[in-house]
Structure 1
Amino acid sequence: MKRFDQINMIPFIDIMLVLLAIVLTTASFISQGLIPVDLPKAEQSQQASPDEHSIEIAINAQNQIFFEGTPITADTLAEKLAPHAAHAAMMPVILRVDKAAAFEHFISVIDVLKAGHFDKLSIQTEQAQ
């Protein structure tokens, strides 16, 4: 009987690459925010993909502001952004605002971001049909 001195890893690598491709394609559909926000629709909408270096701020229909999923007030938003101030120019910020939210809260968040020099701002919308 022939003795096996090595294991053929190529089929294992093929299976893992297929699984990786499936995970990466489905991850973009799952990566919606945890805060329920009914986003406004826009014809020229492009999906911003959050990464580990981006900051996500959400405003729901009850005009509550959320920083990385944690409810905060407009006054404490500047305090939450302070640790990121050193990299403000390069730090991407994704803003998710419910279409029923008051425009005043949107402007107050934008004002705090501009004061902190967070210039890489993406406003998330849904693609209009």
Structure 2
Amino acid sequence: MKRFDQINMIPFIDIMLVLLAIVLTTASFISQGLIPVDLPKAEQSEQATGDETVLEIAINAQNQIFFDGTPITAVELGSKLEAHPNTTPVHLRVDKVAAFEHFISVVDVLKAKQFAAVSIQTEHAQ
């Protein structure tokens, strides 16, 4: 009988690559944002692509507005948006129990600054 003097690493590498693919896939679903927002559900929602620079605006359940993770007022939001070209994509995340008034105030600021690439993030209803 032949003696095994070395370990075959090929099966180990295959298993590690599969585990890496699982972790990367799972991590992409988990990383939605830093502000805890319970998104409303929609049947026609699509998966967002993360290829470009995106401005993120969030409104949480306490009706606080966040711009890229920092709390801000609607007036301050207008001045922050002036630093970015109006072709920059904007992701708007609004908690489902947030007051509609705050959503409208943010959309009004975006419209006043002529941002056209605005997407409203939802969860896919199943």
TM range (shorter): 0.7 to 0.9
Q: RMSD in angstroms over aligned alpha carbons?
A: 2.1
| Structure 1 residue aligned with 2:6 | none
**Secondary structure of 2:57's partner?**
strand
Q: Quick check: 1:121 aligned with 2:108?
A: no
Q: Quick check: 1:46 aligned with 2:46?
A: yes
Q: Which 5+ residue runs of structure 2 have no aligned equivalent?
A: 1-9
Q: Which 5+ residue runs of structure 1 have no aligned equivalent?
A: 1-10
> Among the aligned pairs, what percent are the same residue?
75
Q: May I ask how many residue pairs the two structures share in their alignment?
A: 114
Distance in 2 separating the partners of 1:76 and 1:51: 27
Q: Residue 20 of structure 1: CA displacement?
A: 6.9
Q: TM-score, normalised by structure 1?
A: 0.77
Map residues 28-39 of structure 1 onto 2, 5 A cutoff: 28-39=28-39
Aligned AA for 1:119? A
Aligned AA for 2:121? Q
Aligned AA for 1:29? F
Q: TM-score, normalised by structure 2?
A: 0.79
**Secondary structure of 1:84's partner?**
coil
Moved over 3 A (4+): 14-24, 49-52
Q: Residue 76 of structure 1: CA displacement?
A: 0.3
